[in-house]
Every structure is written in structure tokens, then in C-alpha cells.
Amino acid sequence: MSILKKIFTKSRSLEDGIFFGSIQVILGFPPKNLDNYKKAFTHRSSNKLNSDGVPVNYERLEFLGDAMLSSVIAAHLFNKAPLGDEGYLTKMRSKIVSREHLNELGKDLNLIRFIESKVPVHHFGENIHGNIFESLVGAIYLDRGYSYCEKFIQKRVIIPYVDISRLEGKVISYKSLVIEWCQKEKKIFHYDIYEDNGIDGTRFFGVKLSIDGKVIAKARATSKKKAEEKASQRTYFALQEKMDKK
């Protein structure tokens, strides 16, 4: 009972106490206003309203968290890469806060276990993990201010993941890389997109990437964007020796 007394206040329910303890482990410090964190995991499908009839969900906190992440990461890069110009710093920040990386961060912390939603978890897209990571950062800012927000980002993002020399070689978009190379080398490229549905009825998109009239790579995925990126990646590996000389 002594451990429970440390976690609970008289007004805190058993469920809130468990949530409080779990969030404290993730943050590394105790939250002050638990409602901020509850909102950070409330999906719009829950149809919650506050006392003024305004919808309550994580989307506004996601916007705020995105801004906080960009701010803290920008300051870190500014200090750690004194020779980097604006373009370099922008590109490096984009690699750190890419949707793919934010999704990984959300998964590592298993944040989806806290989601309150009327939609089954397996129906969520991949980006839900990154979205709620950003909303959590927004909740920290509202609850504890900039310094605690910075502390959390340092602990969960910068210290374990931000290695500037490694990030310099990380490709965040093979499509951008291919297009940039084609434009520089004055080559004509074309993404031919078509539906390529599976036997089970799942909707797929096929892509053929041609350069100067020759098909270099093909790919298939559940979205046009993913198919284009996959075809671009295959094109990069097919032409890597030429492209790395750019």
C-alpha cells in the first residue's frame, strides 16, 4: 500500500494512478496535470467534448508537439554543427523529425497502448505512432513548459538517435534523390502509376520508373507514394555508382 500512496492522491482513481505511473516512467519526471496527457492519447473517433462543447482529441497537441520538436532539434543542430549553413541544418532537421523516425519513436515507447478510440487499433495507419509521439511532446509543453519539453526530447530523441555524422549519409527520400540527379544530369524521368490489385481485393498501386525512355525499376505498394518511393530506391541502387558521382 505504501507504493500506491506515493502514486495516488485521494482524488485519483486506480485507473488514473496506473496511467500516472506509466507516463512518469516514459517522461522521467512526474506529470502535474494528467488531463493534458489523457488528451494526448484521445482519438477524434471517441467524440469527446469539453465543457464548452469543443471537441477533445490529440490533434491540436500534435501541432504543438511538432513545433516543439522542430525548435529543440534546430537549437541542438545550430550548436553542434557550427559550420552548417541554413540548407544543411534544414536537411538534417528533416532527417531527425521525418515521419518514419517519429513513427519508430512512438513504437519504441509503445504509446499506442494508451489510445482512447472507438476505432480498433489495427485499423490505424502507420503514422498514428508518430502523431501521438508529437502530441505527447505537446502535452509536456503545456504541463511543464519548455525546459521539461527540451529535457524529454534530449532523453528520448537526441541522445539515443542523433548522430550527426551518421545522419549526413541517411537518405530520407529516394524519390527526391532520383529527381535531383535527373534534373542535374538533364535526364528525362517518368513515374508510370497504375492500379495493380491483389487476388484478395486489396488495393495496390504499381509504378514503373523510366529514365530517358528506359524502365529502370518497378515497384508495388498499398499507396502511390510508397510505390514511387520503393521504385526510386531500387533505381538508386541500380544507378548508385553513377548517382554517387553527382
Q: Is 241 a catalytic residue?
A: no
Please tell me whether 116 is known to bind a ligand.
no
What CA–CA distance (Å, rounded) separates 151 from 146? 9
Asked whether 229 and 174 are in contact (CB, 8 A), the reply is: yes
The verdict on whether residue 134 carries a ligand-binding annotation is: yes
Active site residue 134: yes
50 labelled ligand-binding: no
Q: Which burial class, exposed, middle or buried, applies to 164 when counting CB atoms under 10 A from its CB (0-12, 13-18, 19+)? A: middle
The whole-angstrom separation of Cα 219 and Cα 119 is: 31
Instruction: In whole angstroms, give the CA distance from residue 6 to residue 17.
Output: 10
- 35-62 CB burial, b ≥16 within 10 A, e <16: ebbbbbbbbeeeeeeeeeeeebbbbebb
| Active-site annotation holder among 52, 66, 100, 168 | 66
Which is catalytic among the residues 134, 143, 150, 228? 134
Catalytic residues: 66, 134
Residues tagged in the binding site annotation for Mg(2+): 62, 131, 134
Residues tagged in the binding site annotation: 62, 131, 134
